[in-house]
Structure 1
Amino acid sequence: MNMKAPRGTNDVLPGEVKKWQYIESVIKNICDRFHYEEIRTPLFEHTEVFQRGVGDSTDIVQKEMYTFQDRGGRSITLRPEGTAAVVRAFVENKLYGSPIQPVKLFYFMQMFRYERPQQGRMRQLNQFGVEVLGSADPAVDAEAIALAMTVYQELGLKSLKLVINSLGDKESRKSYRQALVEHFSPHKDELCTDCQTRLTQNPLRILDCKKDRDHPAMQTAPSILDYLNEASAQYFEQVKEYLTLMDIPFTVDKNLVRGLDYYNHTSFEIMSDAEGFGAITTLTGGGRYNGLTEELGGPDTPGIGFGMGIERLLLALEAENIEIPVDNNLECYFVSVGDEADKQAVRLVHDLRKHGIQVDKDYQGRKMKAQFKSADRLHAKFVIILGEEELAKQVATIKSMETGDQHETPLSRLVEQMKELLQGGNA
């Protein structure tokens, strides 16, 4: 019997969870300032959502999806990425009819991809993502990139590199596609089996191949930038201009194509240059995907988005020695001695919690000394003591664990007194 977590998954234990919660709170605050609203979609979708949305020629669809048949014989897939799922929800719920356009959304999702687990790349992964649907303004592309950069910067990351490219519109991509076929065809037998297939299905993805990255033909491949028509070139120039106006430095990489079929126009990645971060440097990837809503049964609606891996973000923070400010202190710990005091402690602890005070108590039947040790381990700011003597006088003793000062307070004023102390006073 195998009772371990499945390969490619891990448990996030209580101490680590607080780091995740802090990161999520920072991101939510930034999204609120950018006026993005949260969306939550099902953990699984009909398989065709990803086949049509992500693309049949991608590694995700061909090799990495967790797909199964449910009891009704329907093909179901655990979501491997967020964009197709969000666009499906956008179409199904007719958000394109909202009077407020564009629709600006963000999400926190668990994704599932069957790939070789390695540091920062798991089979169950967590992503923060953003999707903007309903605007073809290049300023929206720059805004989405700015949002991602703001997240990293406000969390303290400094070793960042933004790389951008343009994949052009349909006309530009068609011309470029033909140029790539002509360029790589003489070298077909020298390419990996995946790239041999890509040559006919989606030649742009050859540029994204990790196996053939050092092949001489990669170095001499034509640049998409040379095949942009006037409208696409102008669009890309505007995106770059907006980034410059926001003082966001960037590098143009003509080989940046991203791994999903739905991208067009702006494509971007944010990478970590931190020493010791690892061979896989990408933190965030995204781009524009005009036409995806049509693929999923909706009206022609332009869109742009990105996905940010939370696990990789944590690794980047660790590589730059950035401490996440997590408060592990407990506001107060209730120490009770004797059967009657134990009973009253249950009522008093519940009353304190109802009034917004963080409090815990002993549930192991331990002696007073052991309860104080527990309060110390939990970094309690105050200890409330209730024994037979206190019960007789209907008071509780409150002790500051920082100063050692203590005093008695009537049980009827315990909540009020604790509120006053937690707002800045000492016992």
Structure 2
Amino acid sequence: MSKITRIKGFADYFPPESEAFTFMENAARDVFSRYGYRELRTPVLEKTELFARSIGEETDVVKKEMYTFPDRKDRSLTLRPEATAGVMRSYIESGLATREPYSKLFTFGPMFRYERPQKGRMRQFHQINAECLGLTEPAVDAEVVAMLWQFLSSIRIPNLSLEINTLGCRECRPAYNEALKAYLDSVPEDGWCEDCLRRKSTNPLRVLDCKVPGCKALVDDAPALVDSVCEECSDHFGQVLAHLDAIEIPYTVNKRLVRGLDYYNRTTFEVTSGEIGSQSAVAGGGRYDGLIRDLGGPDQPGIGFACGMERLLLLLPEEEAPRPDAYLAILDEAGMARGFLILQAMRARGVIAEMSPTPKSVKAMMRQANRLRSRFCLLMGPDEIARDVVQVKNLDSGDQNDFSVTSESDLDALADFLR
């Protein structure tokens, strides 16, 4: 019988990678909580309409990349390709907007897109997302960027750069789209890639986001959105930059920076690292003030970001795996029951401890303790059991001591020594 293998573009993560994911999640919880954010968990499966309405039916994500299928009642369902739409659906459905003046939420979890797997990009990938809903002030935009910057710095992602732009609003964007479309139509069609030929008519802003070198060169002379926005959007963007200057976060205004999803407006940003080549973006986001209303909710503004955890994994500094505190070596069958009780007592007191499930020789036990890189080896043979003690050997220094394990206070003292 042939073995069953994992699906292409999906990964199994064992230590140390799985531990790195936990490290990133815990760091995010720590940093985000200081800014008043709370954790939300949403389903990985949603109605397809949610993403068609929020992301945009003409985006590459909806047209080519979503895992969409009918269920047994012929309802169209989709594995979430991004987190924001699901957070908005949850926010609207729960009535959260009526219970608090603004909401700060963050999520972790897997996302799904059908695209060519490559280093740092999988068909099932994981994101850390943060969303601030109900606030429009420029200081909020700067605060969201600052929180992202602090999180990435806290996990020691190297060589970070922040690029920022404004996408205007629903009032000033249409005129820019027409000017951009006129420019794109003036360029001979044989210069564009296949995707940009389609985007020119369906979603011209996305042409600016194309990574094909030939297309990037063709938009060098295209009109810049930041030069075409209305006075209100220009003032908003100027204040965002002033706040970033005040808190000394370095940035570059990138007039060609856009987001791949239709719901973004005004402030948009991307953080890159110079350590992972051409696919350098590790996080990005922006403002989406009309999205909640478009999905049937109240007219509430929002801003947020997403971090790709697989990308971050490529950049995390290598950490040595944590060492167990103790390895308990039982030398005969008679001591197994007593050893098991001591092992559980140590674990209950915060000691990271292991033991062999069967008695072995001293030599074999010491070899296993060293293989696990344990700091101490606890030996219990017939003599130690008779005296109700354990022999504790420091595997770094070679020092040995006997510890009584008769009472609860004895166990406390042993645990304090091992930790």
Q: Same fold (TM over 0.5)?
A: yes
Correspondence list, 1:313-332, <5 A: 313-317=312-316, 322-324=317-319, 326-332=320-326
Residue 34 of structure 1 pairs with residue 35 of structure 2 = yes
Q: CA deviation at 1:364?
A: 4.9
Corresponding residue of 2:415: 419
The 1:192–1:214 alpha-carbon spacing in structure 2 relative to 1, beyond 3 Å, is closer
Structure 2 distance, partners of 1:168, 1:82, is 23
Would the alpha carbon gap of residues 174 and 398 (structure 1) be closer, same or farther in structure 2, given more than 3 Å must change? same
- Tell me the amino acid that sits aligned with residue 203 of structure 1: P
**Preserved CA contact (<8 Å) 1:87 1:293:** yes
Give the stretch that moved more between structures: 3-12 or 142-151: 3-12
**Is 1:341 aligned to residue 335 of structure 2?**
yes
Counterpart for residue 295 of structure 1: 294
Q: Using the TM superposition, give the Cα deviation of residue 177 of structure 1 relative to its aligned residue in structure 2, in angstroms.
A: 0.8
What does residue 358 of structure 1 align with?
352
* Amino acid in the other structure paired with 1:64: E
Please report how far the alpha carbon of residue 215 of structure 1 lies from its aligned counterpart in structure 2 after TM superposition: 6.0
Quote the Cα distance in structure 1 between the aligned partners of 2:137 and 2:294. Answer: 21
Q: Which residue of 1 aligns with 2:280?
A: 281
> One-letter code of the match for 2:308?
G
Separation in 1, partners of 2:80, 2:105:
18
Give the Cα–Cα distance (whole angstroms) in 1 for the partners of residues 255 and 403 of structure 2: 71
Report the Cα distance in structure 2 between the residues aligned to 1:410 and 1:181, rounded to whole angstroms. Answer: 82
Query: For 1:372-387, what aligned pairs fall within 5 Å after superposition?
Result: 372-387=366-381
Q: Deviation string for 1:225-272 (max 9, x for gaps)?
A: 222111111111111111111101111111111100000000111111
Asked if the contact 1:331/1:380 (under 8 Å) is kept, the reply is: yes
Residues 339 and 111 of structure 1, relative CA distance in 2, 3 Å threshold:
same
Which segments of 5 or more consecutive residues in structure 2 lack a partner in the other structure? Answer: none
> How far off its partner does 1:377 sit?
1.4
SS in 1 for 2:406: helix
Q: Which secondary structure does the structure 2 equivalent of 1:412 belong to?
A: coil
Aligned to 1:112: 112
Q: CA deviation at 1:332?
A: 1.0
In structure 2, the residue matched to 1:47 is: 48
Residues 273, 282 of structure 2: 8 Å contact kept = yes
Distance in 1, Cα, partners of 2:45 & 2:397:
54
1:212 Cα deviation after fit: 6.5
Letter matched to residue 417 of structure 2: L
Mapped contact 1:188–1:196 kept (Cα < 8 A): no
Instruction: Report percent identity of matched pairs.
Output: 39
Mapped contact 2:376–2:395 kept (Cα < 8 A):
yes
Look up the equivalent residue of 2:222 and give its one-letter code. Answer: A
2:388 aligns with 394
Structure 2 letter corresponding to 1:286: G
Distance in 2 between the 1:216 and 1:21 partners?
41
Q: Distance in 2 between matches of 1:107 and 1:202?
A: 29
| TM norm structure 1 | 0.92
Correspondences of 1:165-244 after superposition (within 5 Å): 165-187=165-187, 189-190=189-190, 191-211=192-212, 213-214=214-215, 217-244=218-245
Q: Is the 8 A contact 1:192 1:212 kept in 2?
A: no
Please say if residues 48 and 76 of structure 2, whose CA atoms lie closer than 8 Å, have aligned partners that are also in contact: yes
Change in Cα spacing, 1:171 to 1:279, as seen in structure 2 (3 Å) is: same
In the TM superposition, residue 79 of structure 1 has moved relative to its aligned partner by 1.0
The 1:204–1:2 alpha-carbon spacing in structure 2 relative to 1, beyond 3 Å, is farther
Are the counterparts in 2 of residues 167 and 263 from structure 1 also a CA contact under 8 Å?
yes
Distance 2:400 2:195 in 1: 72
Aligned to 1:159: 159
Structure-2 change in CA distance of 1:79 and 1:242 (3 Å): same
Letter in 2 for 1:417: A
Change (3 A) 1:109 1:199: same
Query: Would the aligned equivalents of 2:84 and 2:131 in 1 still touch at CA under 8 Å?
Result: yes
Q: Does 1:85 align with 2:76?
A: no
| 1:321-373: CA deviation from partner (whole Å, max 9, x where unpaired) | x333x542101111101111112222222222223322111125432211111
Return the letter of the residue paired with 1:371: M
The amino acid across from 1:351 in the alignment is A
Distance in 1 (alpha carbons) for counterparts of 2:392 and 2:291: 62
